[in-house]
Amino acid sequence: MNRNNFLIHFAIALVLITIAGVLGQIDRWRSGLRPATSETRDLARNNSGEAKQFRADAEPEVLVRFKPGVSRTEIERLTRRFNDRIEDRIEYVRGLKSIDDLDNADPETVAAQYRAMTDMVEYAEPNFRIETDLPDFRPVAERRDEAPVNSPNDPYFNDQWALFNSGENGGKSRADIDAQKAWELTKGSEEVVVAVLDTGVDYTHPDLVANMWTRPDSVPQYSDAQLGTFNDRFGFNAQSNLADPMDDNGHGTHCAGVIGAEGDNDLGIAGVNWNVQIMPLKFLGRGGFGTTKDAIEAINYAIDRKQNGVNVRIISASWGSTQYSKALEDAIRAAGENGILFIAAAGNSSTNNDSRPHYPSNYDLPNVISVAALDRNDSLSSFSNYGAKTVHVAAPGRDIVSTWLKESFREASGTSMATPHVSGIAALMIAADPEITVETLRKRLLAATDKIDSLSGKVFSGGRINAAKALDR
């Protein structure tokens, strides 16, 4: 090798060594932004399997609520320092930001980093994963047995023991919500909007289409400062940040049918409400999974629509996790402050929620009702969670026939199915008394029960919800 070639190769080698050193220094600098503090180490030890199970693995995000008085400039400066970006702000929970970590660091570590900024941050938490309490879905065959007198002509009504239990198929007579007596007073109102916070709703289903909410022309399209403007004709899809909340799982459609399938239309089933408006809020995907951020986004949408003149009075939530989220609690509290009752499934783990909390049903908020599941014999279902302090009321939740995807109907079991029965009764109450407050609505619901000995010490009210009693003022 001649001298000139040697000098050229030597110069190239020096350049490569210098570049490698710089890159290594950058990596060391970046890693130093998130030191392994004692808080971080303790968090890693304490959040083993369960926390990671509910973490949104595909979304390296945290939810951070900044203290009042912290300016936007200060927040942006902090996020840049951590190599993060603000993905969205939650309008109805002041100071709450969804933050995307550009380094793909562990979310628990990122959250701990923000929590350490005590002069600026109220709390920070990972964007945890949420899932439906997956029930057992089974197809049902259409029946046209002779129905009780004054019953709707829906072919599956005889299978809807939750509405009218004659004691057939091994059931206990009158172990139901007393729907027919309630219908003598009201069958619901299209002025009442119930939001189903779930996997979406098949808004084309023939037994639901008449009772689906559509955005009136007088209400402006939903607009989010970061996410953009949506043509939310049928509701909102927080999972994909799209307007279309079409169900691709079936769970949300099943819950919607319990609340408001059209009654007496010679098709399928009768909902607790024959007249109502169902607003789909999709945050759970095809597999039944979602995140706290997306649930909050959907709740934020419901509040926004309420403030823009849509009469959203109830959010029905048939899902949960054992992971506590302060951000989700704040969003549900904001819904209550805007006149929205939040009705939540107690969970399907056969556990005591007093000692092993299940969220959102365990939030101690004045607008939250937690629902356990009963079978057709008025017994607490074997899968149902319970809790004398934290589970408020029970409702039918086993072998419930309701709407499914693509014009079909299926039978399912779970506290997911019990919850919409309570949501439906709440909607009947609002139809009968449009000016009723959240506080009064909740109080009357918890008082409107048939006491059951087996529920004593299991649920707060000690009973099964009764629609007729709820309407009896």
Q: How far apart are CA 30 and CA 80, in angstroms?
A: 12
Please pick, among 416, 421, 450, 461, the residue that the annotation labels catalytic.
416
Q: Is residue 387 helix, strand or coil? A: strand
- Cα separation values, 69 from 72, 79, 93, Å: 9, 17, 14
Name residues whose C-beta falls within 8 Å of residue 6's C-beta, 6 or more positions apart in sequence. Answer: none
Give the angle 41-96-323 at the CA atoms, nearest 5°. Answer: 50
CA end-to-end span of the chain: 102
Q: How far apart are CA 61 and CA 110, in angstroms?
A: 8
Q: How far apart are CA 50 and CA 45, in angstroms?
A: 12
Task: Look at residues 210, 276, 254 and name the one whose alpha carbon lies nearest to residue 428.
Answer: 276
416 is known as an active-site residue: yes
Tell me the helices (H) and strands (E) count for the chain, helix number first: 12, 20
Please pick, among 101, 159, 251, 316, the residue that the annotation labels catalytic.
251
Question: If you ran DSSP here, which 8-state letter would residue 383 be given?
Answer: T
Task: Look at residues 140, 136, 416, 404 and name the one whose alpha carbon lies nearest to residue 250.
Answer: 404
- Cα separation values, 348 from 10, 318, 374, 435, Å: 69, 11, 12, 34
Please pick, among 198, 294, 304, 375, the residue that the annotation labels catalytic.
198
Q: How far apart are CA 384 and CA 43, in angstroms?
A: 31
- Is the separation of the CB atoms in 234 and 244 below 8 Å? yes
- Is the separation of the CB atoms in 426 and 445 below 8 Å? yes
Which residues are bridge partners to 62 per DSSP? Answer: 99, 126
198 is known as an active-site residue: yes
266 is known as an active-site residue: no
Question: If you ran DSSP here, which 8-state letter would residue 386 be given?
Answer: B
Give the residue numbers marked as catalytic: 198, 251, 416
